[in-house]
A and B are shown apart, each in its own frame.
Chain A
Amino acid sequence: MSSALLPKPQMRRLLARRMKFHLFGAFFVSVGCAALYKFGVAEPRKRAYAEFYKNYDPMKDFEAMRAAGVFESAPPK
């Protein structure tokens, strides 16, 4: 054991420091998760649907499905 004194540890405001750290952390983690989901999942999905329906012709789609023979009430021509 050395005779030199150790530096005095932090004695006060321990909970306040911990709370500040965790409040900031929780805020940024949750906002980060929301942002990640929005720009990783939600926006691409909205774009995919917009692209799909931009030039969508339902009758052409229907004729293709009918030609493949999946309809009971609308047999292929």
Chain B
Amino acid sequence: MLAARAFSLIGKRAISTSICVRAHGHAGVVKAEDFSLPAYVDRRDVPLPEVAFVRDLSAQQKALKEKEKASWTALSVDEKVELYRIKFNESYAEMNRGTNEWKTVLGGVLFFLGVTGLILLWQKHFMYGPVPHTFSDEWLSAQTKRMLDMRVNPVEGISSQWDFEKNEWKK
């Protein structure tokens, strides 16, 4: 209003813009989106969220809220629970409850380990060639004999398990 009168001193054309502003009411102010307003959240480290859980109360709930303004000893147990549920979504016990997710995770892990095992079997059968000749039984026994002849690891290792007098493995 004041702006309109002030602009009329400068020029007629300014009035039209101020009239437009008044016609729109509060143009220039955008409607607040839900995500920009304080939100309710069920979190262990937020015991009292910024807003109550139930935003739009029914007539019954509104009546209960009025009753809450009087002495609380007049409230029944069910009414107290209803007031709690208006304010909070889940109790701490409900919020912290465990799930059965671990079964799914374990099952998935074991399943894919099994798939990997099948892949390895297929590879061994169809893809890989023979192992080197140094893995044959004859070579391995000759190799072990040579290790014992050289007294490899005589204190705690392989040569300590061989009985050199009787020429056999120690019992």
Whether the Cβ atoms of B151 and A61 lie closer than 8 Å is: yes
**Distance in Å: Cβ of B141 to nearest Cβ of chain A:** 15
A1-B77 contact in complex given A48-B155, A52-B155, C-beta closer than 8 Å: yes
Instruction: Tell me, yes or no, whether B117 is within 8 Å of chain A by CB.
Output: no
Q: Which of chain B's residues has its CB closest to A69's CB?
A: B149
A27 at interface by CB-CB < 8 Å:
no
Contacts of B156 in A (CB 8 A): 45, 48
Considering only residues 27-77 of chain A, those with a C-beta below 8 Å from chain B are: 45, 48-49, 52, 61, 64-65, 68-70
Interface bin, chain B: 10 to 19
Q: How far is the CA of A61 from the CA of B150 in the complex (A)?
A: 10
Question: In the complex, what residues of A have CB within 8 A of residue B21's CB?
Answer: none
B151 cross-chain contacts in A, Cβ below 8 A: 61, 64-65
Known: A1-B77, A1-B81, A64-B164. A70 touches B150 (CB 8 A): yes
B146, A70: Cβ atoms closer than 8 Å:
yes
A65 to B156, CA, bound (A): 18
Say whether chain A's binding surface is mostly helix, strand, loop, or mixed.
Answer: helix
Q: Does A3 contact B (CB under 8 A)?
A: yes
Residues of A with C-beta under 8 A to B155: 48-49, 52
CA distance A16 to B83 in the complex (A): 36
For B77, give the chain A residue with the smallest CB separation. A1
A52 to B159, CA, bound (A): 12
- Give CA–CA (A45, B156) in the complex, Å: 8
Q: Is the CB of A70 within 8 A of B149?
A: yes
Alpha-carbon distance between A48 and B149 when the two chains are bound, in angstroms: 21
Residue B154 interfacial (CB < 8 Å): yes
- 14 cross-chain CB contacts under 8 A: A1-B77, A1-B81, A3-B77, A45-B156, A48-B155, A48-B156, A49-B155, A52-B160, A64-B151, A65-B149, A68-B149, A68-B150, A70-B146, A70-B150
